[in-house]
Amino acid sequence: MLSSDAILERATELKNRGIAFVMATVVRCESPTSAKPGAKAIVDADGIISGWIGGGCAQPAVIATAKKALADGQPRLIRVSPTKGGDVESGVIDFGMTCHSGGTLDIFLEPFAARPRVLIIGASPAAQALSALAQRSGFDVLAAFPGADAEMYPDAVQVIDGLEPEILRSSRPRFIVVATQGKRDEEGLETALAAGAATIAFIASGRKAEKLRAYLKERGHPPERVDAVVSPAGVEINAVTPEEIAVSVLAGLIKARRDPDADVTSQTRSTAIAERTAETREQATVTMSPQAAGSGEAIDPVCGMTVNIASADYHSEHAGQSYYFCCAGCQHSFEKAPEHYLSGAGASA
């Protein structure tokens, strides 16, 4: 039998792991009973009891009531007695005792719901703002991106420097928000799909999201999983700043949390504004050679963006020449048909 201290330590462990449970405490008894006031037990979602709050008569009543408490989040006070149907105080749920001990137990059941986990992928200002707001709104926040640290995400329960799908999958996030906003978008989305979650939201304009969906499908990701990614993310509030965009996305998460069947897709103006500059560059017609941008810079032959050579994450070699790209999507397109883009047709296509 677990001691009260062991029960409390177990409860703390479950809370830290985000696992829901009910704490059952005997608050009153009339002898003869095997459990006395102060006796505690933990009841998990499967109805397994750890601890002691009475024998065979009390346990079925506790398990049945604990499952209801977990379902609606409301505490309950039950009475297990041989005199079911007598005078019972308001708010007490009366259960009859089927065994012959003849005692009475009053047991308080308090549910501890698991805080839903949201994994934020990215290091953008909107990602950092969302981390702070989500933690204060009842979510456990995990943040992941190359270079991410606790200084960037002081409110997160875990910060991961990198994008390792195996590590992120083990964290069991219910929601994932890809807030890369132009930096490693493709890698962020592929990581999100590999990590798995009930809801994946992507902060981007509709046009950019469609281009990336096509890229992900071409890479072999299941079309139904790709199409399920919510983008633009959030609820329309005409947001403009990173903080306002974070509020919009958080509203979508809360909506999905409270109503899993709700449509959380929203064509938000905020995310369109956030991507407007990048999309303007994507539409530009480029006539310069790939290395004509200036010292230390190159022109992405696919979209026409200027890329800093020293910090470029994506580059390819073709016919003895190095080419630099703003993202994995552009690199992928170039490597499929380099002559098409080197002919000058790519960036204006």
* Confidence (pLDDT) at 1: 65
Per the confidence metrics, is the pTM higher than 0.85?
Answer: no
Is 317 within the bounds of a domain?
yes
Measured CA to CA, the distance from residue 287 to residue 346 in angstroms comes to 10
**Same domain, yes or no: 15 and 163:** no
Whether 84 has a pLDDT exceeding 70, the answer reads no
Is 347 within the bounds of a domain?
no
Q: 182 or 347: which carries more pLDDT confidence?
A: 182
Whether 310 has a pLDDT exceeding 70, the answer reads yes
Q: 23 or 91: which carries more pLDDT confidence?
A: 23
Is 297 within the bounds of a domain?
yes
> How many C-beta neighbours within 10 Å does residue 221 have?
17
**Same domain, yes or no: 140 and 241:** yes
**Same domain, yes or no: 50 and 68:** yes
Give the residue from 112, 146, 178 where a domain finishes: 112
**Same domain, yes or no: 189 and 236:** yes
Q: pLDDT digits over 31-57, tens only? A: 888 889 999 999 998 999 999 888 777
Count of structural domains, the chain = 3
Measured CA to CA, the distance from residue 188 to residue 171 in angstroms comes to 16
**Same domain, yes or no: 44 and 99:** yes
**Dihedral, CA of residue 222, residue 252, residue 195 and residue 136, to nearest 10:** 180
Strand segments (E) across 21-128? 21-30, 40-44, 49-51, 76-81, 92-96, 104-112, 117-121
**Same domain, yes or no: 105 and 142:** no
**Same domain, yes or no: 305 and 258:** no
**Mean pLDDT, the chain, whole residue set:** 83
Give SS3 for 291: coil
* Confidence (pLDDT) at 101: 64
Give the residue from 55, 81, 112 where a domain finishes: 112
* Pairing mode, strands 104-112 and 76-81: antiparallel
Q: pLDDT digits over 261-296, tens only? A: 655 544 444 444 444 434 433 333 333 445 554 568
CB-based burial label for 245 (10 Å; 0-12, 13-18, 19+): buried
Measured CA to CA, the distance from residue 223 to residue 13 in angstroms comes to 38
Q: How confident is the model at residue 22 (pLDDT cuts 50, 70, 90)?
A: very high
Domain that holds residue 130: 117-277
Q: Which domain CATH number covers 166?
A: 3.40.50.720
Can you tell me the mean pLDDT for 117-141? 94
**Same domain, yes or no: 130 and 258:** yes
Give the residue from 277, 301, 321 where a domain finishes: 277
* Confidence (pLDDT) at 251: 94
**Same domain, yes or no: 107 and 122:** no
* Confidence (pLDDT) at 341: 83
**Same domain, yes or no: 162 and 243:** yes
Whether 137 has a pLDDT exceeding 70, the answer reads yes
Is 349 within the bounds of a domain?
no
**Same domain, yes or no: 209 and 308:** no
Is 333 within the bounds of a domain?
yes
Is 169 within the bounds of a domain?
yes
| Tokens linked to 107 | 């047991």
**Same domain, yes or no: 177 and 215:** yes
| Tokens linked to 14 | 């479950």
Q: How confident is the model at residue 308 (pLDDT cuts 50, 70, 90)?
A: confident
* Confidence (pLDDT) at 85: 62
Integer Rg of the chain from CA: 28
Measured CA to CA, the distance from residue 97 to residue 105 in angstroms comes to 10
